Chains A and B, each alone.
Chain A
Amino acid sequence: MSTLGRILLVEDDPKDVELTLTALEEYNLANEVVVVRDGEEALDYLFYRGNFLRRAGENPAVLLLDLKLPKVNGLEVLQEVKSNDQLKMIPVVVLTSSHEEKDMVASYKLGVNAYVVKPVDFHEFVNAIKELGVFWAVINEPPPGSIKKH
């Protein structure tokens, strides 16, 4: 697991992880990705706790966040991130299976930067992931304190 990733992917489903990484591979962004499998791990990573006690001291350039996660769910992670002074500048993109308006409204209220419903069609899915990765990790100028481009 790379500890220098600029993209923190919070996703519990291994298949989704694989498909997402495959999609990012084409732009050589896959090795920039740090994958955590639930909300608790994501917070551990962000707050340098548990397994991430000694990781390099910079924030990811973007956080790709699934909503339905074991232990601590995506909305709770989002709330923690956006209410923390050191973390609130990290752009957060919610990547979810659900069209639920409730989730969308809740996410935007918590200050999410983008909300993407994963398309069923793989082409669209690949395009969406690629565009997200390219935009947030390459085109977008990340806030100070984030891991810079290699």
Chain B
Amino acid sequence: MMGRYLLAVVSIGLATGAALLVDHFHVRDVAVPLFLFALSLTAWYGGAGPAAAALILAVGSFDYFFVEPFYSLNISASDLPYFLIFAAFAVLVTWFSSVRRKAEADLRQARDKLEIEVVERTQQASLLNLTHDTIFVRDMNDVITYWNRGAQELYGWSSREAVGQRSHDLLRTVFPVPIETIKAELLNTGRWEGEVRHTKSDGTEVLVSSRWALQRGESNRSLAILETNNDISERKRRELEVGTLNEALGQRTAELESINKELEAFAYSVSHDLRAPLRHMSGYTQLLKKSTAGLLNEKSQRYVAMILESSGKMGNLIDDLLAFSRIGRAETHKTTVSLDQLVQEVLAEIRPDAANRDIEWKIGTLPTWYGDRSMLRLALINLIANAVKFTRTRAQAEIEIGCVEQNPNQVVVFVRDNGVGFDMKYVNKLFGVFQRLHPVETFEGTGIGLATVQRIVHRHGGRVWADGEVDRGATFYFSLSKSQGANS
């Protein structure tokens, strides 16, 4: 503020100095133009206030230095009109100058504002171009006014080709609901969202998730619609695929469930209905044997004995088969099981049957593991009973039970004997249901024991295998993996 008035003082001072200087060299009538120049300079740069101050200073200085009587502020009446014209002229110059100045300032301001806006717009447009989303703007007649790079990439038309076209014609839009409904919602809420089908420039169809936003101007007048589209064709295809797969899976599960139910019903029926007639055969034959005691010859007695033996065997087969199927169907009840203790229990059960045998037992230490106690017990009974059975021909039988590998995730238990062994080329048949490698006269059994062991081990996430040589014994291994939720 002070600076502008200082400008007035300095410019008038300089004009006075310059006028005095040229006056000194007797150049006449230069003072007035110099003062006018200083005045207009002040008006231009200082504005109206300083210009008025400069005018007063200029009149004073002119009167004092350049009008007779010199060095006095007195003005003779004859000079007064001259002064007034000078003052009026100076005011006019100042006024023009300040008007012109204001117009220029306004212009500059408008230009600067415009420039900033242009920069902003350009930035926004280039940002919109950066996104992968498809964005375009259309006016209320659906004529495209902006088309970003995402739109070009998705649909194949460049901005130059698309702008000016009606969007629904260009994209052959297929709406999920009547367009009137969409427009109504858009005008009502300012937004619309939905899935629409578009056709690209190459003729292929694309399904997009479309979001519309309405731009409103003054007095709530609708101006334009911003449309953002995302290609969901692939997602939709995957969803359909997942849906189909789920359906197939559901169907398969239902099938399996019904098969499982059938199997259960079958097993139930076998256990009830098949065992009953067998029991009757055996019962009546027994009664026949009793009532004909002493009447039948040796041959007939043998026939009766064979019927009884066979019905007994069939009873065992049915029982074993049912036990086997039950292991597959029953739920496992897993707890921590001391394998050491389990082996001792099994031995206590088996030893009485082998009381007249000479068996050397070597029992190693076994860990405590996580599993279904009764199932693991059944597996061990089968393996140890087998070892006892197949060493029957040995004068001195040796049976070893131990653990060959133990880490936090797995334990491998083995049962080794020095019995009759087996030929490794039949090793694959060992664990099959009803598979036997010895004639039944030599070693009795239904051929289901090892299949049961395998099923139990599989249900514990383990594996079972064997090693053997004819006449040189056999070793059976099974692994148990650490199940989830186990704490040792």
Q: Which residues of A contact B (CB under 8 A)?
A: 13, 15-16, 19, 22, 68, 96-101, 118-123, 125-126
Contacts and interface: CB of A to CB of B under 8 A. Distances in A.
B326 A118 contact: no
The 7 closest A-B pairs by CB, nearest first: A120-B315, A122-B286, A122-B283, A19-B283, A15-B280, A98-B271, A97-B275
A116 B444 CA distance: 27
A15 B326 CA distance: 28
A128 to B, nearest CB: 11
Given A16-B276, A125-B279, A120 B311 contact: yes
Contacts of A101: 326, 330
Interface in B310-339: 311-312, 314-316, 318-319, 322-323, 326, 330
Contacts of B391: none
Contacts of B318: 120
A99 B286 contact: no
B271 A99 contact: yes
Nearest to A102: B268
A22 B291 CA distance: 12
Contact of A120 (B282, B323, B326, B330): B282
B286 A68 contact: no
How would you classify the secondary structure of chain B's contact residues: helix, strand, loop or mixed?
helix
A97 B276 contact: yes
Nearest to B276: A97
A99 B282 contact: no
Contact of B279 (A98, A99, A100, A122): A122
A108 B154 CA distance: 70
B160 interface: no
Interface string B258-274: 00000000001001110
Interface string B282-299: 111111000000000000
Given A97-B271, A99-B319, A122 B326 contact: no
A120 B279 contact: yes
Most buried by B among A16, A97, A101, A126: A97
B271 A100 contact: yes
Given A98-B271, A100-B271, A101-B326, A13 B276 contact: yes
Nearest to A22: B287
Contacts of A122: 279, 282-283, 285-287, 308
B278 interface: yes
18 contacts: A15-B284, A16-B276, A19-B279, A19-B284, A97-B271, A97-B276, A98-B268, A99-B271, A99-B323, A118-B275, A119-B279, A120-B311, A120-B312, A120-B314, A120-B319, A121-B282, A121-B315, A126-B286
Given A15-B276, A122-B279, 6 more contacts: A15-B283, A16-B280, A22-B287, A101-B330, A118-B279, A121-B282
